[in-house]
Each structure stands twice: as structure tokens, then as C-alpha cells.
Chain A
């Protein structure tokens, strides 16, 4: 479990986190949604021990985050920027980072084999990273985070700039980790990713947690009403409703419609309703 208690962190006059309280449960995939500058990366950096809070605390499995807290070996981090050595091969990168976590000999070789298989890069293990595609680098970036078999994994926008095939491969990998009982914190701009992967989602903006729950709960509570979109001639009319089926039947009977479309509330509408702006603004 990761626990954030009354977390405050400022950068000069800007308060990136403003009294945030949150618990990420063991074994869940927790989605952290928010626009740029919302405080997601600050939260990730505090969890990884790269920053210290001005106030409050972060604990991972009961240990304080950061140097000397004993939490670093429990934590795997795939940073948003690809943090790899281009001139080394995939295997050399994994061996190097594994060595920093005190892995050696057969243990290290076993973990290197496992992570390469996991990332689908076993056949490219001897190739230098600079020859990899963007998607392959992303998968290796994730593999490096897993080399020491951590219990908790922080994935900071792990699908940025990858092709659909690699994105699906990354989703499959994350679901495998989830099934293996790992706790995963996942930050993203993409609602569909959060909807597909996350057990619970936290919506963060201006350093505060605005809402927390499952996707269904959040959509039900903050998504607003469904809407029926009516096409008549060259025009489209959006009609919000609590009973879309009845509304569609009524419209079909009353008007000459060329088409009807149902718009259900999504995380995007949740975010719009909570913050007044779109997630990718």
C-alpha cells in the first residue's frame, strides 16, 4: 500500500501539491488522471524519493519513501523520458540496472531472461538500444523497471509516442503484472487507457485530488446525463436525458430524423464537469 498524507510540495511560488491525501491499495492498478501541471509527476517523484515533501509524508508498504527508507528496492519506476543507455544492448542495460539492485550471477541472468521475454525483446537482446523503434524502447523502459521484481511499480505515461501495436503489448504486460499481484500506479492523459486498465482512478488538478473511485462510480457520480444526438438535414442537435431509450423512441416518432446517436458520459465528461476543462488542455 502507498499512503500519501497531507502532502504539500511547492516549486517557488507554485504549489504543485496542496494537502493531498490518498491511499493506493495493494494489488490494484491505480490511475492518476490530470492535465499537464496538475501535480502527477510531482506525486510520482515524491513516491520514487526523487523529491522530498515540504509537508506531509509518503509511505510505501509502511516504509517512508526516499533514501534510507528501505522502500527503493520495493519500487520499480518507468519514467516518462526513456531512461536507457543507447550505446548498450538491451541485455547490457538490464544487467547494469539489475546490478545496482544487488542482483548477480544466476539470479541476475534469470531476471534478465524473464524481463526480456516479458517485454517481447528476447530476440533483440544483443542489439544496441539505439537501433530500437520507439515502441521497443518503451517496452525496454518498462522491463528495466521490473528487473529487480518490485512489488510496486510506477508507470509515468508509459505509452507516450508509441504505435498501437506496442501500446497493446504494453497493456498486456501491465495486465500480466496485475494478475501477478503487483501494485501499479499509472499516470496518463488517455481516458481509454484508464478505463481499460485501472481498478480505481484519482482525478488530480492544481495539486488536489478532486475525485477518487472506480471508473463506473466516477462516471455515475460526476459524468452527468447521457445525451441523444439527433441528425436532421445537415444539423445535429444534442439532447441531454436521464432515459435515453425513451427519448430516442420519442424522437423517432415525433420528428423526421436521419440519424440518432447516444452519447454516454465518460471519464472525459467527468473531468470536464469537475475541472471545467478537457483532460488534454
Chain B
């Protein structure tokens, strides 16, 4: 064992001395994890929210309330502006859209059953039509909420009904065929609202007039999604670190042969298995260090807290075993450093592409998701996510971990068998 440790220590020292190799092994995966995590989370500063401008031309209590609601939306980043400026900003592409609350909005809101409809004007950048649909949905939602509030609040409803009845029965109001029926209906409705009293919907006032009540069920598995994008990007970063490590150590094994140092190792009182075990140990240590380093950064700086430390350790160890085996297999793919490096990186990139290391699996077509079962990258990401936020049970962890251990042992055995000891 002492010889194996001596061999491994040498490889770790060589990795430390190789500045480019050290960077790509440790810092590149970290940069990728942070970069993609930041992109998918919007950087945590709300930059993913849609930037719009709001113009309040009505300046009534209802219009102010409506624009405040828009400002409170998690999907929108709202700034106030004048109409001309707002239209110009949208035309120049500096904002996605503007919403102008027109004059009469407050009056129309107060007379729900009579008169005009409360209206807003929406100006959208033509190149952002996808966002326009989303924005319309948000506006309709707040409009609907305003109606719901009216129907749920008896006092407001009575006030609105009184206004409507006054308008209908005012002297000089023109007759129309349904005037009597509408007057009778609104009168009955007002009477109903008066009988119900002042209770609001929340206290059981108008349960039948609430359009839809959504109750959240406490289904734990669905509740434990990733808390932030870093919980998705850091497993990918760790796998990229493993890929870099496997490539670097696979190539270093070829270098030992092409540069003659393997001859010295073989002349020393060591068995062949000790020589390869030394390389494997160094690779294993580095893969574990990469994982631990990235997970620590994820935890301390980005709030990625593992669901289970034990399961996370099992995932990391299984992935390390898999990539040590892959490293051994890569070392037999080429005779020279250049060919081994080229073939190795190509193989690893394909593994990563089909395994969800570059593009998330759910985006891929069905047949490719089936193909991805053959990539250890997929099982590595599943194992890490299972321990981090998918809340896998022990039995569920056994599938990805078992596959990874199997891949590692098989690849290592094949690599040892096919390894060329001489030039």
C-alpha cells in the first residue's frame, strides 16, 4: 500500500504543478456551475422578471391599487413613466412592454353592473410576442381578482349595485327592452347582499361567488424540488470536474508510457497492479476532492444544502469509482498523448451530451432520453440530485449508485486488460 500511496502522491504533485490542468480540473467546473446556476436563477436579483413600464392616466384609488398590484407581481419588474416616454422605451427595445391605465378606469371599476368596462392599454415590443401573451395573462388575472374582490365584499357590492340602480332609474334615462328585468334583478341582488350582511368571503360571506379556490395539498415529494438553480447546476459542474479529471489522468497514463517513466516504474520492485492502482488512487482522490470542494462552495455561497449527507457521500464515491474506471479505459484508446486526448475528450463529450451534462434531459426527445440511459453522466447527475433535493430513499439511491459502481468496475477491468505496457 505504501508504494501505491507514493505513486498517487507523485500524481497529485504533478497535477498541482500543472497550472492549466489544475485550473480545468478544479476551477473550470466551479465556474460552469456558478455560471449556469446564475443564468437559470436570474442571478438572484430579479433580472429574469419582465421589465415593463406603467402609465397611470386615471390616478384614482382603483387605478393606483391596480398599478400597485402589478408592481407587487413576482413576474414583473415595474417602473412608472409617462405615456410618450413609455412608448419610446418599448420602441427602442429597452423595455418589453408598457401598460397604460386609461382615464375612467376608476369610474368603470366602481360601476361593475352598468357603464363602461375598466380598460388598460398594452404596448408590446413586437419582437417579444411570447412575453406579451404572458403579460396579458397577468393583467387578466389582476382584473379577475378585482371582480372577485367586488363579489366577495358585500359592502362594495351594495355600493356598486346602488350606483347601477341609480343610473337606471334616474330621470331622463332612456328606455330599452330589458330595463325592467335588469332593474328587478339588480334590486334582488342588492337585497341579497343586504341580507347576507357585512361578512366577507373570507368569513364565509359569499362562498358561492368565489370563482375558484385553490388549496395546496401537502404532497412532500412534489414539495421538494430544487430550491434554486444552483442545486441543478452544481451536480452538472461536479460531473464536468469528474470528466476533466478522467481525461487528465487517462492522458497522464499514456504519457508515462510515451515519455519512458513507465519503464522506470516497471523496473522498480512493483507489480503492474500496484502501478495502475497508484494512478487509480490519485484519480479517485482528485475526483472526491473536486466534489467536496464544489459542494462546499455550493453550500457556503449558494445555499445548496444536501437532503442527506450520507446519501451524498454514497453518490460522490460511486461517481468517483465510475470515472476512475472510465479514466483507465480512456488510457487504452490511443497510442499517443494526442490521440488518447482527442479520442478521450470526444468520448466524454458524447457521454455528457447524451447524459444531460450540457442540455437538461427533459428538453431532449424521448428516444434520446432512452439513449441517455447508457451514459454514466446521466446516472451521476441523478445520484447527486437524488441526495441533494430529490429526496431519494436508500432503495432509490441504489439504482444510480449501483450502475455507477458497475460501470467503474467493468471499465477498469477492461482498461487494465487492454493496457499497453510498452510503446
Chain B CB count within 10 A is highest, among A49, A92, A97, A101, for A97
Bound state CA distance, A99 and B2, in angstroms? Answer: 9
Contacts of A85 on B, CB cut-off 8 Å? 10, 14, 261
B267 within 8 A of A: yes
Name the CB-closest residue of B to A67: B271
Task: Among A50, A75, A79, A87, point to the contact of B14 (Cβ < 8 A).
Answer: A87
Contacts of A49 on B, CB cut-off 8 Å? 266-267
Chain A CB count within 10 A is highest, among B10, B14, B267, B269, for B267
B269 engages A48 (CB within 8 Å) = no
Contacts of B7 on A, CB cut-off 8 Å? 100
Contact residues of B: prevailing secondary structure = helix
Name the CB-closest residue of B to A77: B267
Contacts of B10 on A, CB cut-off 8 Å? 85, 88, 96
Name the CB-closest residue of A to B422: A50
Contacts of B159 on A, CB cut-off 8 Å? none
B264 engages A77 (CB within 8 Å) = yes
B265 within 8 A of A: yes
How many chain A residues touch B (CB < 8 A): the figure is 25
Contact size class for B?
Answer: 20 to 34
Bound state CA distance, A24 and B9, in angstroms? Answer: 38
Bound state CA distance, A73 and B267, in angstroms? Answer: 9
B126 within 8 A of A: no
B265 engages A87 (CB within 8 Å) = no
Bound state CA distance, A92 and B12, in angstroms? Answer: 13
Contacts of A101 on B, CB cut-off 8 Å? 268-269
Instruction: Tell me the B1-50 residues at the A interface (CB within 8 Å).
Output: 2-3, 6-7, 9-10, 13-14, 17-18
Task: Among B6, B17, B18, B263, point to the contact of A100 (Cβ < 8 A).
Answer: B6
Smallest CB separation, B252 vs chain A (Å): 10
B350 within 8 A of A: no
B17 engages A50 (CB within 8 Å) = no
Name the CB-closest residue of A to B17: A87
B260 engages A88 (CB within 8 Å) = no
Name the CB-closest residue of A to B261: A83
With known contacts A81-B259, A84-B261, A85-B14, A75–B6 Cβ distance under 8 A: no
18 A-B pairs with CB atoms under 8 Å apart are: A48-B263, A50-B422, A67-B271, A77-B264, A81-B260, A83-B264, A88-B17, A92-B13, A96-B6, A96-B9, A97-B264, A97-B268, A100-B3, A100-B7, A100-B270, A102-B2, A102-B269, A144-B264
Contacts A85-B261, A92-B13 given; 5 further ones with Cβ under 8 A? A85-B14, A96-B9, A97-B264, A97-B268, A102-B269
